[in-house]
Amino acid sequence: MSGKIYGVGVGPGDPDLITLKALKVLKKADLIVYPAPEVGTSLARSIAAKHFPTGTKELVIKTPMVSERFPAFEVYDKASAKISKAVRDGKIVAVLCEGDPFFYGSFMYLFSRLKNECSIEVIPGVSSLTACSASLESPLASRNDILIILPAPLDNSELEEKIKTADSIAIIKIGRHFNRIKELLKRHGLIQNARYIERATMQTQKIIDIEKVDAKSTPYFSMILIHSREKAWL
Amino acid sequence: MSGKIYGVGVGPGDPDLITLKALKVLKKADLIVYPAPEVGTSLARSIAAKHFPTGTKELVIKTPMVSERFPAFEVYDKASAKISKAVRDGKIVAVLCEGDPFFYGSFMYLFSRLKNECSIEVIPGVSSLTACSASLESPLASRNDILIILPAPLDNSELEEKIKTADSIAIIKIGRHFNRIKELLKRHGLIQNARYIERATMQTQKIIDIEKVDAKSTPYFSMILIHSREKAWL
């Protein structure tokens, strides 16, 4: 019997936004792996937990918060060694990923370490990008629109250059950068088209008028969508 | 009893890449609506058909091929009138959308017509963007990468300007533009990092070395992914 790794996108937060394909993998998995912060619970686990078969083994990858620093290589080295051993023992390993595994996900650091020695399949998931768009009732792009995804931690000069290049802009990972981003959008006349959302499709989802957002409590899982025509269908 | 419209992302092609949430909507739908070309079958229907409850009414929206022209307004006006009547009659209407409803989807033209008179909920789906990334085993973006989505029909001067602005590039809707795009990527030294895929996750999926693609048969559902670092994890 040969083992295999699945990188499983579990979707953006609503447990019902998991795919049938992901569910089928969970059902047959011998080991379910997921990231968690050093303190606190795993979001990926909380999204998928109700679909775990009883008795399946679990492995937590405790990762330090690394929004700007280089990923914690040692953590991924150790986790890869454990996963690789399980695969050599013939086990099916499901690695849970919030949203989609390859859309700003940390799964790629396991994938890069294991791809040459293990069979790996990636199950795409609903990303935060389309989840935010659906919840905000703001289509991302139509026809020949250019869509750009910009992480908020980039510095102002880079952001100011890039926001001019696209019809549609998604600014991700807002977190503590909210005020800076808001001022930047004002300077460029884009604030009236900007829509803010946090924790899209989770039970704690909030859509807030961008002028009323409390910058002190803006989480990492937040996004601002802007379409230069206000609505993509125009 | 009050009617409601659901815009349902059915995912990129593999029928198992539909979400639980989409399935629940299909189960309770009184009317299932989907786009189809003037000649030929509906891709959205073919993805979801095995999940249709027996006896559910169907409504086809026959849309002319409009890759570059303005959407066929009359078609959407007529379909909206039919959907609106069903909702007033208390029906649950599921409108199927390939991939995600708001990622370059035509559902927005129904949404814009019906949003003020009907209750509408959008169910996000797995988009072609993350499906192509998964099948190509090429992560889209990591950490503070900038990701840009560029429709191939844009002219060369615009494409050449924009490909310089991002760490990661997805060129969508390749179709008859393949040779022009390939030459453009060569001129900018990006061809060695470019990966080509068509009909991702469908049974007819093909991943082809970009130097060996037959430009005469490149379909609309094709994509080229390029990461400036070759791999997003580097």
Residue range A42-69, pLDDT digits in tens = 999 999 999 999 999 999 999 876 554 5
The conformation of residue A26, written as its DSSP 8-state character, comes to H
Taking alpha carbons only, the member of A54, A123, A128 closest to residue A98 is: A128
Adjacent-strand bridge partners of A19: B19
Closest-CA distance, B138 to chain A, in angstroms, reads: 8
State whether B151 and A162 contact (CB < 8 Å). Answer: no
Q: What is the mean pLDDT of residues A143-171?
A: 96
Contact residues on chain A for B148, CB-CB shorter than 8 A: 146-149, 165-166
Cβ distance B101 to B125 under 8 Å?
yes
- Domain B4-123 homologous superfamily, CATH: Tetrapyrrole methylase, N-terminal domain (3.40.1010.10)
State whether B161 and A165 contact (CB < 8 Å). Answer: yes
Please give the C-alpha separations between residue A102 and each of A169, A174, B218, in angstroms, as whole numbers. 19, 20, 25
Q: Exposed, middle or buried by CB within 10 Å (0-12, 13-18, 19+), for A159?
A: buried
Can you give the pLDDT at residue B70?
57
B122 φψ region: left (φ > 0), alpha (ψ -120 to 50), beta (else) = beta
CATH T-level topology, domain A129-227: 3.30.950
Average pLDDT, chain B: 95
Q: How far apart are CA B103 and CA B107, in angstroms?
A: 10
Q: How far apart are CA A150 and CA B166, in angstroms?
A: 9
Contact residues on chain B for A162, CB-CB shorter than 8 A: 146, 165-166
Can you give the pLDDT at residue A72?
78
| DSSP-based three-state secondary structure for B139 | coil
How is chain B split into domains, by residue range?
4-123, 128-227
Per mean pLDDT, which range of A91-95, B64-68, B152-156, B166-170 is the poorest? B64-68
DSSP B147-186: EEEEETTS-HHHHHHHGGG-SEEEEE--GGGHHHHHHHHH
Facing residue for B149 by CB, picked from A109, A131, A146: A146
Closest-CA distance, B1 to chain A, in angstroms, reads: 24
Burial annotation A145-155 (CB, 10 A radius, 16+ → b, else e): bbbbbbbbbbe
Can you give the pLDDT at residue A77?
93
Q: How far apart are CA A179 and CA A220, in angstroms?
A: 14
State whether B146 and A154 contact (CB < 8 Å). Answer: yes
What ipTM was predicted for this assembly? 0.96
B128-227: CATH number: 3.30.950.10
Q: What is the mean pLDDT of residues A81-96?
A: 98
Taking alpha carbons only, the member of B28, B74, B84, B16 closest to residue B52 is: B28
Q: Give the rounded distance of the alpha carbon of B220 from its chain centre.
A: 10
State whether B115 and A137 contact (CB < 8 Å). Answer: yes
Specify the CATH class of A4-126 in words: alpha beta
Interface membership of A218 toward B (CB under 8 Å) = no
Q: Which of the residues B140, B150, B205 would you substitute to probe the A interface, choosing the one with the greatest number of A C-beta atoms within 10 Å?
A: B140
Whether pLDDT at B1 is above 70: no
